[in-house]
Structure 1
Amino acid sequence: MHICVQCVTVALALIGLLAGQSAAADWANGERIAERWCAGCHVVAPGQSRGSDTVPTFAEIGSSKRLDDDALTAFLTDPTHSRMPPLSLARSEIADLVAYIARQSR
């Protein structure tokens, strides 16, 4: 049996590319989640005029050196934190929300 090494290499590269695209977070969906679940307390977008002054804006969270994507994901995944009301978000929704928050620091 003869296996074409170049064919296998190309196939693996395509599989990796497709897997990366399907796993990529959707910041636009994160924006919709933020508007629905977070805008009551946080300023989630530049044009938003109301939010609590006791919580950080998404732009502040996104530019925080302490809250990188992994730390923010861990915070949002942990249902026991007491700072926010309990969120019932799927991991993909959390990834989308984190992508949107990161985008706010630009």
Structure 2
Amino acid sequence: MVAVAVGLTGSAVIAADADHGAELAKRWCATCHVVDSDQKRASADVLPFATIARKPDFSPEKLAFFLLDRHPKMPNFPLSRAEAADIAAYVASFRN
């Protein structure tokens, strides 16, 4: 019975990895977004991650869902759910 309960909740217990999200963001998002304070260049008309994180309606869950859905203004990156959650956790780290 315990094994079944652990199997059902195991994926929900795994937390998003903001450090991995930072690596992914530097690889895939930095062309357009400012993804860290050391970055010098990005597209002028695209919000930096820090600005996105400080929006009043920001939530990591909402961002992860957004990243998994196709959007015409963004390139289509084949993100897994875990990768989308990792990037969202990294963006959320800018709320401090």
TM-score interval, normalised by the smaller of the two chains = 0.7 to 0.9
- Is residue 49 of structure 2 the alignment partner of residue 77 of structure 1? no
The gaps in structure 1 that reach 5 residues or longer are 1-10
Secondary structure of the residue aligned to 1:89 is coil
- Is residue 15 of structure 2 the alignment partner of residue 24 of structure 1? yes
Q: What is the alpha-carbon distance in structure 2 between the residues aligned to residue 67 and residue 97 of structure 1?
A: 13
- Paired letter, 2:55: S
Deviation at 1:105, TM superposition (A): 2.3
Deviation at 1:58, TM superposition (A): 0.4
Is the 1:45–1:104 contact (alpha carbons within 8 Å) kept by the matching residues of 2? no
Larger Rg: 1
Is the 2:17–2:86 contact (alpha carbons within 8 Å) kept by the matching residues of 1? yes
Q: What is the alpha-carbon distance in structure 1 between the residues aligned to residue 19 and residue 79 of structure 2?
A: 16
Alignment root-mean-square deviation, CA: 2.2
- Paired letter, 1:33: L
Deviation at 1:99, TM superposition (A): 0.2
> TM-score normalised to the size of structure 2?
0.83
1:88 alignment counterpart: 78
- Is residue 89 of structure 2 the alignment partner of residue 103 of structure 1? no
Matches within 5 A, 1:53-64: 53-64=44-55
Give the number of aligned pairs. 92
